[in-house]
Amino acid sequence: MCGRVAGILAPLVRLLDVYHHSIPMLIYGIIPITAAGLCLLLPETLNVELQDHTEPEEPSNGASENAEVIIQEKKL
């Protein structure tokens, strides 16, 4: 639903160029920054320290061993 509303409003925002050339750029820039800031208020990210990087984890169920066997079989 939000995508449809944005699809309707996007061309209309472009028409604001008549009043000042930077108004559409401001709107298209402020909305994503605001949305990213509001994501920090979601329950999953509220008061949680966000990761700076990711570290690869080895699967604990032995999936990596099975993957090696499958790769070797495909080479044959």
Model pLDDT, residue 41? 87
- At 7, the pLDDT band (50, 70, 90 cuts) reads very high
Dist CA 19 CA 24 (whole Å): 10
Helices (H) and strands (E) in the chain, counts: 3, 0
What is each CA distance from 4 to 20, 25, 27, in whole angstroms? Answer: 26, 20, 17
Residue 62 DSSP symbol: S
- At 4, the pLDDT band (50, 70, 90 cuts) reads very high
Model pLDDT, residue 40? 83
Q: 62 is written with which tokens?
A: 């032995």
Contact (Cβ atoms closer than 8 angstroms) between residue 14 and residue 24:
yes
Model pLDDT, residue 58? 63
Q: For 13-37, what is each residue's pLDDT tens digit?
A: 999 999 999 999 999 999 999 998 9
